Amino acid sequence: MRRLKRAFVRLSSSGLVLAALVASGCQEAPSYAVRWRISPRLGEEQPQTPAPQDEEMTNPSVCARSGVSQVEVWVFDELDRLADQFVRPCFPERFRRSGGAVRGATLPPGDYTVLVAGTRANGRAWGPCLGEDCDGGSVQSYLAAAIEADQPLCVDDECNVGLDTCDCDRFTVEADRLARLPDFVLGAPPDCEDGIDGDQDGLVDGLDPGCQLGASESTPVLNPEIALSLSVLSGNPNADCKSLRLGTLAIAIDDEPLDRILCNVGVTRFSTPLSVGEHQLSVTGLDGTGEEATVEKVSDFIVNDRGVIEPEQLEVDFADVDMLEPIDALVNFQLQLQVPQSNDTTTCLDERVGAVDFRVRLLDIGGEPIVPAPQSAIGRLDGSSVSCSVEGGLTLAAASISTLDPQRWGAYLLEFEAFGADGQLCWTNADDPTPLAPQETVGVVARPVEQLPAGCFSE
């Protein structure tokens, strides 16, 4: 804060010096003369040969078309003290004459830096927010901030003070000589802040959807369909939003929130107005009370000029590590045997089933056994031998078998095998163990082995 004050004092006290100089120097020849022009806006299609009034700005229409109303000239000496300053209309009458220039004050010999900056009619310049002021401060406020930060004001003949419509140069004053400086070229103000209906659709700047959704009034705005492909627990086919206790999804595009949508595994489609170009979708899972339950997942995409998004589907997965709270839930499953030569399933209670020895083993996502294996209603899930009927009247054919204690998810796979009386393998899913899901009872189906041994199954 002290530095800021000092910078203003420096600006204002040198302003006093300036007044003295101008008063005593009115008889003397001016030390320098400047002329400026407004450059065409970047990225716009330009005619091959610019009109003569654009080339050298000999006509006020250039100012009217660009939205620049006034131009301020600021001159600093080698110690960044203000040496001269004045404001002119964007198009001074002298500019009608080719090469005509605006003259500055008489300055003591030495080296100087001159900045030329365009402003709106109200004196506000174009540039990034200054602190909390985002309406464009005065040129002086940008200069004071740069001086406060000890920034050089002009680097490689480019303004280094944050102003958009600005050009600068260094020059040397010699006694009794007029330095006619090379023309200054001011970049056109941003087209969404120039007060002009650039694409002539009747909507100016922030009222134009091109500015609301893109970077320019002329940005095409389309209504693309977005296909969000949601999966959970690293694409676990047996898990859904309920498994993670997710009710809805908070959706935003480029940080602008859209309506919430129901959380459903699979593809959800919705449309929203978007500009052609790059965007980012962000998705956060919410629990039943609307509280955030997951981290935010993001997916980049492009809207092409046909209004189609690329990639075609935006894939989002909520894995266990994306949950704000770890998932602790019982492991639930139902054990089934696929009937040979059929798509039907049955259970160990079926009289046709000759298998007598059943083994159930809980694995991690890499297929390694969980150690120690959790205890369940049918015994430890460690692959030890179990018969169809278990003590206490329980059977392996129960509609839902669960662990006795909640487990921390991750991902769990269940391996289920059935052996005949002679120890021969009859049914197995060991080559593709079934992924389980929290809050779900997942059917785990063991398939008959090829060339089913006699005794496994009798019609």
Q: Considering the complex, what minimum distance in angstroms separates the CB of residue 270 from Ca ion?
A: 27
Task: Tokens for 252, please give them.
Answer: 């935003």
Cβ(407)–Cβ(330) below 8 Å: yes
Q: What are phi and psi of 176, to 5 degrees?
A: 60, 25
Contact call for residue 164 and Ca ion (CB under 5 A): no
- Least Å distance, CB 139 to Ca ion, is 21
- Which range touches Ca ion (CB under 5 A), out of 122-130, 191-199, 360-368, 425-433? 191-199
Reported residue count of the chain is 459
CB closer to Ca ion, 221 vs 398: 221
Query: Do 252 and 272 meet the contact criterion of CB atoms below 8 Å apart?
Result: no
Indicate whether 215 belongs to the interface with Ca ion (CB under 5 A). Answer: no
**Under the criterion CB under 5 A, does residue 208 sit at the interface with Ca ion?**
yes
Site pattern 258..297 for Ca ion (x: CB under 5 A): ----------------------------------------
Binding-site size for Ca ion (CB under 5 A) equals 11
Sign of the torsion angle spanned by Cα atoms 43, 47, 52, 53: negative
> Closest separation between CB of residue 136 and Ca ion, Å?
14
- What is 200-269 written as a DSSP string? -SS--GGGSHHHHHSSSTTS-EE--EEEEEEEETTT-TT--GGGGT--EEEEEETTEE---EE--SEEEE
The yes or no reply on residue 203 touching Ca ion (CB under 5 A) is yes
Question: Taking contact as CB under 5 A, which single stretch among the options 75-83, 151-159, 199-207, 418-426 is the one that binds Ca ion?
Answer: 199-207
195/219 Cα distance (integer angstroms): 17
Should residue 196 be labelled a site residue for Ca ion when binding is judged by CB under 5 A? yes
> Among 54, 72, 164, 205, which residue interacts with Ca ion (rule: CB under 5 A)?
205
Residue among 196 and 295 whose Cβ is closer to Ca ion: 196
| Interface segment toward Ca ion; rule CB under 5 A; list 156-164, 213-221, 298-306, 329-337 | 213-221
Identify which range of 211-219, 294-302, 424-432, 451-459 contacts Ca ion by CB under 5 A: 211-219
Among 44, 201, 225, 328, binds Ca ion (CB under 5 A): 201
Nearest C-alpha neighbor of 70 from the set 114, 119, 5: 119
Q: Which pair of tokens denotes residue 116?
A: 């030329």
For Ca ion, which residue of 54, 84, 169, 194 counts as binding (CB under 5 A)? 194
56, 148, 183, 199: residue in contact with Ca ion (rule CB under 5 A): 199
- Taking the CA atoms of residue 204, residue 207, residue 211 and residue 216 in that order, the dihedral angle to the nearest 10 degrees is -10
Residue 41 touches Ca ion, criterion: CB under 5 A: no
261 closest CA partner among 297, 230, 223: 230
Q: Answer for the pair 401, 334: CB distance below 8 angstroms, yes or no.
A: yes
174/201 with CB nearer Ca ion = 201
Residues 267, 228: contact at Cβ < 8 Å?
yes
CB nearer to Ca ion: pick between 191 and 322: 191
Instruction: Work out the burial of residue 25: count CB atoms within 10 Å of its CB; fewer than 13 is exposed, 13-18 middle, 19 or more buried.
Output: middle
Least Cβ distance, residue 202 to Ca ion (angstroms): 7
Q: How far is the CB of 46 from Ca ion (least distance, A)?
A: 17
Place of tokens 């000496």: 77
In the complex, what is the shortest distance from the CB of residue 56 to Ca ion, in angstroms, rounded to a whole number? 25
Q: Provide the token pair at 294.
A: 């997951």
- Strands annotated E in 238-296: 248-253, 256-257, 261-262, 266-271, 274-275, 277-286
Among candidates 313, 312, 266, 259, which has minimal Cα distance to 286?
259
Of the residues 148, 197, 287, 315, which one makes contact with Ca ion according to CB under 5 A: 197
Q: Does 198 bind Ca ion (CB under 5 A)?
A: yes
CB of 201 to Ca ion, least distance (A): 4
Among 84, 169, 217, 440, binds Ca ion (CB under 5 A): 217
What residues have CB less than 8 Å from 254, skipping those under 6 apart? 279, 280
Q: Which residues bind Ca ion (CB under 5 A)?
A: 191, 194, 196-199, 201, 203, 205, 208, 217
